[in-house]
Structure 1
Amino acid sequence: MFSRVHKPASSTTLKAIQLSGWLLSAACLVNGAAWANLGASPLVIEAQANRGQVKAVLNVINSGDTLLRARVYTEPFTYSRDRGFQTIPSDSSYLGSYIQFSPRELIVPPRSSRRVRMVAQLAPSLANGEYRAVIFTEALNEATDTIGRKVGIITRVGTTVYVRKGDTAPNLVVDRASFNAKQKHLELFVKNIGNASVRPMVRWSLKQANKVFWSGELAPTAIIALGDRNLALAVSEKDPSPLLPGNYQLSGQLLWGEDNAQTVPFSVDFIVPAK
């Protein structure tokens, strides 16, 4: 199907953001179970369709000492308000029906990697907007523990893919803030009323009567198009005690894009009630 590795032209904006190894499904290690050495890169792909088409390359990595058999496939996914990433049965923005892989199943020698080429061809009848899927790379070898016993573990790594057709953009609105006394963190509720997903980082500070109590940063966190998230802002480990009852102000910026060029400032008041 493919005669060469595609290098996207400037007319097809393709950003492959490699993150530091979050596994999206069942645990890889149970008593030292095998196939914790499965990896994939990149773990996030964002692309603007050019004439309805996007091409990309997924690298399947075997960092172990044993031959790895693997396959790739897609599922619908979302980011829920509180639980974060999760696969779902269906989604009107599901991209998987338009993706082809070459190869779909592969063998990766020890301490090496192999490329899987992906083509997403959107139907002309599709409305403008964002289409997405998670590509799972799953080990087909039977997992074993340290003494060779078979264990019923499915090991897979997920790459989230966002393909945009036509004009799309995120539009973030900070709705409210609160303090979760049980989890001992601040919560910032953010809505994305735009038609493109986004991964903003948060720079924030907490004040009372212009006195700064805490400040910090939250690493980029996905907020799905037309979705919302409760962003957990960790307080200082040096002062993990609950806030005293009173009025507080949480302010800062949401930042994303190249060099964090896109920003949304926010300032929200909230009350910590008396027990």
Structure 2
Amino acid sequence: MITKSSLFASTLKLARWVLLATLFTSIPAQAQVSLSPMIIDLQANRGQSQASINISNSSDKPFRARVYAQPFTYDRDTGFKTLTSSPNDLNPYLQFSPRELVIPPGVTRRVRLITHFPANLPDGEYRSVVFTEKLDETKDSNGNKINVATRIGATVYVHQGSLSPNFVVDNARWNQQQQQIQLLIKNIGKASARAAVKWTLQQGNKVVKQGNIDPNFIIAESDRYIPLNRPQPKETALAAGEYELNGELVWGDKNQNKQKFTVKLTIPTNAN
């Protein structure tokens, strides 16, 4: 089961990863808005849970922001994406206050999050991304005023019942466009969580390449391709042929859960 300690232990490392790799790539640097924490993981007690998000304005001007939530998932290939609907949508049970706020320069405001689950709600994980959005008024090349929306979000997971993640490796593939080995990891458990990867690529008895991959989020009862190698300048390309990929998945509050894997990998002759 995911506990409160996992939230505190992982928030700082995860915040930077989420910022760079998922939902915030479209935010202009000049927005100067930040959230903390960016990942909230809660266990419902008698159908209720609560937390808060701190929104900070590090600019020299006040801004008006609105707060709203959307369901989300992690796509197998592209990673984070918002949804229009989901059976795991937290929104019907989520209340937050305030919904609109003005934050002066250099000030941090708090938004309270409260969840209320009905008594007949099935056990499971319910999740949403809570966005803070502001409108920047700018001018186009003709001098006309336009509004540009910028947003930043915090992902919220609330667990109803005793749930836990469970990871297995399904297969590996060669992504020709990215020149990457990608490992398909399945989470067959009922809770979303992060999994790290230790891996070694062999051809026969020869070790060709090896590495460690920082933890990546994998949604409950879903799967995701995780890139293992990132091509470096002047690095020798992997030759076409048959390989064996060995390694270990690691997850948990204290990395106490481990699952070894061995899968085949084929790099085609037209891969380079």
TM-score bracket, normalised by the shorter chain, equals 0.7 to 0.9
Are 2:136 and 2:148, in contact at CA under 8 Å, matched by a contact in 1? no
Three-state SS of the structure 2 residue aligned to 1:155 is strand
% same residue: 43
Are 1:70 and 1:141, in contact at CA under 8 Å, matched by a contact in 2? no
Q: Label 1:149 to 1:253 Cα distance change in 2 as closer, same or farther (>3 A).
A: farther
Separation in structure 1 between the aligned mates of residue 139 and residue 195 of structure 2, nearest angstrom: 39
Give matches, 1:239-258, under 5 Å.
240-258=235-253
Separation in structure 2 between the aligned mates of residue 189 and residue 110 of structure 1, nearest angstrom: 45
Deviates more, 1:233-242 or 1:89-98: 233-242
Are 1:27 and 1:153, in contact at CA under 8 Å, matched by a contact in 2? no
TM-score by length of 1: 0.86
Q: Does 1:83 align with 2:69?
A: no
Aligned counterpart, 2:100? 105
CA deviation after TM superposition for structure 1 residue 144, in Å: 6.3
Amino acid of the residue matched to residue 39 of structure 1?
Answer: S
Gaps of 5+ in 2: none
Amino acid of the residue matched to residue 204 of structure 1?
Answer: W
Q: Does 1:62 align with 2:61?
A: no
Separation in structure 1 between the aligned mates of residue 166 and residue 65 of structure 2, nearest angstrom: 38
Aligned counterpart, 2:27? 28
Say what the alpha-carbon RMSD is for the aligned residues.
2.5
CA deviation after TM superposition for structure 1 residue 142, in Å: 2.8
- Equivalent residue in structure 1 for 2:163, among 168, 172, 184: 168
CA deviation after TM superposition for structure 1 residue 199, in Å: 1.5
Deviates more, 1:157-166 or 1:248-257: 248-257
Separation in structure 2 between the aligned mates of residue 254 and residue 149 of structure 1, nearest angstrom: 54
CA deviation after TM superposition for structure 1 residue 128, in Å: 0.5
Amino acid of the residue matched to residue 258 of structure 2?
Answer: T
TM-score by length of 2: 0.86
Give matches, 1:112-123, under 5 Å.
112-123=107-118
- Any idea what the Cα deviations from partners look like across 1:114-159, whole Å, max 9, x if unmatched? 11111011111110011111100111443569xx974542111111
Aligned residues: 260
CA deviation after TM superposition for structure 1 residue 236, in Å: 5.1
CA deviation after TM superposition for structure 1 residue 101, in Å: 1.1
Q: Label 1:45 to 1:143 Cα distance change in 2 as closer, same or farther (>3 A).
A: farther
Name the structure where helix makes up a greater proportion of residues. 2
Separation in structure 1 between the aligned mates of residue 139 and residue 178 of structure 2, nearest angstrom: 36
Separation in structure 1 between the aligned mates of residue 91 and residue 123 of structure 2, nearest angstrom: 17
Aligned counterpart, 1:6? none
Are 1:250 and 1:269, in contact at CA under 8 Å, matched by a contact in 2? yes
Separation in structure 2 between the aligned mates of residue 199 and residue 144 of structure 1, nearest angstrom: 42
Gaps of 5+ in 1: 1-11
Are 2:136 and 2:149, in contact at CA under 8 Å, matched by a contact in 1? no
Are 1:214 and 1:235, in contact at CA under 8 Å, matched by a contact in 2? no
Deviates more, 1:131-140 or 1:213-222: 213-222
CA deviation after TM superposition for structure 1 residue 166, in Å: 0.7
Name the structure where strand makes up a greater proportion of residues. 2
Q: Label 1:245 to 1:26 Cα distance change in 2 as closer, same or farther (>3 A).
A: closer
Aligned counterpart, 1:221? 216
- Equivalent residue in structure 2 for 1:43, among 38, 44, 50: 38
CA deviation after TM superposition for structure 1 residue 240, in Å: 3.9
